[in-house]
Amino acid sequence: MNDRVNKPRPCPACRKAEMQPATYVREFHPRDRKVTVELLTSRCPACGAEATSAAQHVENLARLKARKDQYDGLLMGEEILALRRRFGITQQQAAKLFGKGKIAFSRYENEATYPDETMTLVLKLAIEKLDVVRWLAERAGIELPFLDARCEDERKQKLRVFRNDARATRWLKIASTEKAQRAVDSDLVRWWEGGSQDHSLEAAPANDDRCEMAREQYA
């Protein structure tokens, strides 16, 4: 961790002391295993107020992400939350979409419980394939506010890539930031990370077709 993570600053609550680096532990229980992650924050020695700086938050996200190695194929709560947010639906809509009880997604996202093997598989499919979510939504009669926007995002990203091959490396850098990863379909990013340009030229149009087909279907 660099110095910036624990940069000294006055307590925002009482202003009587400098915030001191502190840690706390979050505990998760995938497959009844105990997984702990030590997270960073700052605490005021005078009044006890706690605050997490932006740099600490970035470090914490990386630490949380790293726990996935111990999940043995299970999805982390934030992955399920990300899937739901990606399509702009509530926990209750997600429950209806996937045929679960009303509080199921609240529990999945907090990791109070973990989806069983079948549900995990379906969620992973939904994360990978826009069409799966589209099919489920149609079946459940749920509107997905962000679906068209996501197809549009994919199209724009690809136009940037294919207009100029020299830009590909730069695009990859952009795509590897968390924000951009949410904005482009994950298989396109993986395709770049795989490093095969030839393969990619086939993969990308197929991706376009998928949106186009879906668009017609929903017109």
Cα–Cα dist 12/119, whole Å: 44
49 near Zn ion (CB under 5 A):
yes
**Residue 44 or 94 with smaller CB distance to Zn ion:** 44
47 near Zn ion (CB under 5 A):
yes
In whole angstroms, the minimum distance from the beta carbon of 50 to Zn ion comes to 10
DSSP code of residue 31: G
Chain centroid to Cα 123, Å, comes to 13
Which one of the spans 13-21, 128-136, 147-155, 202-210 is the region binding Zn ion (CB under 5 A)? 13-21
In whole angstroms, the minimum distance from the beta carbon of 11 to Zn ion comes to 3
**Residue 6 or 157 with smaller CB distance to Zn ion:** 6
Single residue of 1, 14, 112, 213 touching Zn ion by CB under 5 A: 14
**Type of residue numbered 37:** V
11 near Zn ion (CB under 5 A):
yes
44 near Zn ion (CB under 5 A):
yes
Among positive and negative, which fits the CA dihedral 148, 151, 152, 153? positive
Cα–Cα dist 18/38, whole Å: 22
- The answer to whether the CB of 17 falls within 8 A of the CB of 45 is yes
In whole angstroms, the minimum distance from the beta carbon of 40 to Zn ion comes to 18
**Cβ count within 10 A of residue 63:** 15
Residues that bind Zn ion (CB under 5 A): 11, 13-14, 44, 46-47, 49
